A and B are shown apart, each in its own frame.
Chain A
Amino acid sequence: MSGPSLAGRDLSAPSGHGDRRFQPSLVDRRRRRARQLLRSLPLFAFAALVLGVDWHAGRFATTENAAQIASQAAPTVVVAVGMTFVMLTGGIDLSVGALMFVGAGLAGHLALSGAPFAAAAAVMVVVGLTGGLVNAVLVTRLGLIPFVATLATLYIGRGVGRWITETRAMNLPEDFLAFGAAAWLGIPAVVWVAALVAVAGQFGLSCTPFGRQLYALGSNADAARKAGVNTRRLTAAVYAVSGACAGLGGLLALSRLGSVSPRFGELYEFEAITAAVLGGASLYGGRGQVLPGTVVGAGLITTIFSALVTLQANPYLYPLITAVVIFAVVLIDTLYTRPSAG
């Protein structure tokens, strides 16, 4: 804030918003309604997809299949919850998949040397949290662009992971798979964990000062700082949360797979970002939620894959269809949320 501009501000308006007499009109209201409708487009698409595939191929909209899809989606959901927190501040965390890999490698070694499952599980979360704290320092203390900082930690993480695993697949003891296969009240344990994380995440966002301040920070960081919000601590916290979620998500993925391959966790960052964007999160911050948003987004991706399998589609079509779906959602979102042309 420069002095002269303060001094000279008395009479004239900053360009663009010189006249604030403008009131929301009927057009605006109609537009807002159309926007809300389009916001829930992923939900409609979701329902249409499930019913369509069930009608076409049969036995898709069944409870077994739903449980199957849910447990498949569980790791993505957990990672995407953390990603939603980061994206609310306008940042991004590309390192989540690599943190999953590092955690899995260490946990695998521990488990193979006879450590109990709980210890290995705890290690994964701690590794994720530590990686998240490194990102937090890079972004808030050293002032790096989140994209560059987390891209670097992504590669460092993958390198470290390959070093730990000696670039070999590791088959884990039974208790990992036992956890992956466990169920309670007919619902897989991994789904319980994911649901718990999602509920806790949404609770944090909508019911704690931390969460509400995140929305303020993402909407206007400068105004948030002026209003007394500790923006630096908040930004650091979201990367820590994202790291911890990556660790936990890695645990879920590991217990479903039962082994650590050299490509473990790869592309999870994109799945998580996609889930959050499909769920209505903005890349520019200030917009997004875990429930239903991100969870529906993650469910949608997994369901699409599952539907493609059910339909026995050419597996090489998967990335094309996924890309088109994400692209369409981003396009619609842009058309209805961008500021009108100046």
Chain B
Amino acid sequence: MTSVASALPWPRVGAGGSVAPLCVAAFAAFALTVPGFATGTNIEAVLIAALPLLLLVSGQTFVLVSGGIDLSATAVVGLASVAGGLVMSHDVQPGAGGLPPAAGPVLMVLTGALAGAVNGVCIGALRMPAFMVTLTVGMFSGGLAVLLVRLAADTETLFNLPRAFVALGGTPLAAGLIAGVSALAAEVLLGGTAFGRMLRAVGYNARAARTSGVPVVAVTAAAYVLSGTFAALAAVLLTGSLETASPAHGRTLLLDVIGATVIGGTSLSGGRGQVWGAALGVLFLGMLSNALTLLNVSDFAVTIVKGGLILVAAIVDRAIRPLRA
């Protein structure tokens, strides 16, 4: 474990310190001022609610580090959810078919990986702009999810998922394991392997990376495949915990994804970023929304606070970052 730990540079938030003190401070402040915050059940709820976002953010970090952006990830969550629901839900598969129980989650992950592969080929090999590619792939995925579920069931939501699947995503322990192990794997992959270092080099300076023998196209494409795969894992968790498959899963998470990564010190211009820092960003955002909800702060105020938080994080980050050459 020490070898892994030494591969993890301490994440830095904008202020030049780390996100961890920010999280601790936020926890202390909320615990003191927000009634009902520092109870065991509430903390557990905060952590569980943060898991899908943790997965999305882990995947997004690969893409941001490579100097790109994946706007399709939140729509891919919905598509993967629907793909899983279509093969698993008793609504559309009376008797649940003869499929093995693993087929659903496997299909979901493959769906995410496929969407990521489309992004990766277009951006890595064809060098199309990441913004437009992932925007259209997201639009397509979201549309396809709605279309598929409508064609199959004439509703937007599929219920009656297999109990085993619901347990997989809906049990705190199982969900925590899936998200925790995946996030740890992402952190090790990004911070402790040749691939991760190549990806960072591509984000810092793709030309220098190419000259140094980094297979830039393959590495870039892999980042998007990873992002799609992690989005699909988030879909497994959301679909399981909500016990429904729906194209709407993940739709509202884009702000949180960008917010958590920016707060966690990931640079949107490439090169800089750790899953570790982004995970703390997720935790911070999770505590914040929870505290605001407990305080009965209205939904719109939460949005305003989160938007403002992104601005503050970006401004602080900008202030400490050495100017680009």
Contact = CB atoms under 8 A, between A and B. Distances in A.
Please say whether the chains A and B touch (CB closer than 8 A).
yes
B265 to A, nearest CB: 13
A330 B132 contact: yes
Given A148-B268, A158-B303, A334 B311 contact: no
A143 B139 contact: no
Interface string A146-175: 011101111111111111000100000000
Given A283-B129, A338-B127, A149 B304 contact: no
A61 interface: no
A11 interface: no
A319 interface: yes
A170 to B, nearest CB: 15
Interface residues of B, number: 43
Interface in A38-54: none
B128 A331 contact: yes
Interface string A214-234: 000000000000000000000
Contacts of B303: 155-156, 158-159, 162
Contact of A334 (B126, B300, B301, B318): B126
A167 B300 CA distance: 8
Nearest to B303: A159
Interface stretch (A246-254, A303-311, A320-328): A320-328
B263 to A, nearest CB: 12
A155 B307 contact: yes
Given A142-B315, A144-B315, A160 B304 contact: yes
B299 A331 contact: no
Interface stretch (B30-38, B50-58, B143-151): B143-151
Contacts of A327: 132-133, 136-137, 140
A337 to B, nearest CB: 11
B262 interface: yes
A155 B268 contact: no
Contact of B310 (A143, A148, A338, A342): A148
Contacts of B262: 148
Contacts of B207: 342
B311 A138 contact: yes
Contact of B147 (A158, A163, A314): A314
A119 interface: no
Interface in B280-324: 298-308, 310-311, 314-315, 318
A163 B140 contact: no
B122 interface: yes
Given A162-B303, A322-B139, A316 B150 contact: yes
Given A152-B314, A270-B135, A316 B143 contact: yes
Contacts of A167: 299-300
A191 B73 CA distance: 37
A55 interface: no
Contacts of B305: 159
B255 A151 contact: yes
Contact of A152 (B126, B135, B308, B318): B308
Nearest to B301: A159
A147 B131 CA distance: 10
A159 B268 contact: no
B199 interface: no
B69 interface: yes
B304 A159 contact: yes
Nearest to B69: A147
Interface string B249-270: 0000001001000100000110
Given A316-B146, A317-B147, A163 B298 contact: yes
B136 A330 contact: yes
A155 B306 contact: yes
A227 B237 CA distance: 55
Nearest to B308: A156
A143 B318 contact: yes
A270 B176 CA distance: 35
Contacts of A334: 126-129
Contacts of A149: 311, 314
A323 to B, nearest CB: 4
Interface of B: 69, 122, 126-129, 131-133, 135-137, 139-140, 142-144, 146-147, 150-151, 207, 255, 258, 262, 268-269, 298-308, 310-311, 314-315, 318
20 contacts: A138-B311, A138-B315, A147-B69, A159-B300, A159-B302, A160-B300, A270-B139, A283-B129, A283-B131, A316-B146, A316-B147, A316-B151, A319-B146, A322-B143, A327-B140, A330-B128, A331-B126, A334-B128, A335-B126, A338-B127
Per CB-CB distance, the 8 closest pairs between chain A and chain B, nearest first, are A319-B143, A155-B307, A159-B304, A159-B303, A162-B300, A156-B307, A323-B140, A323-B139
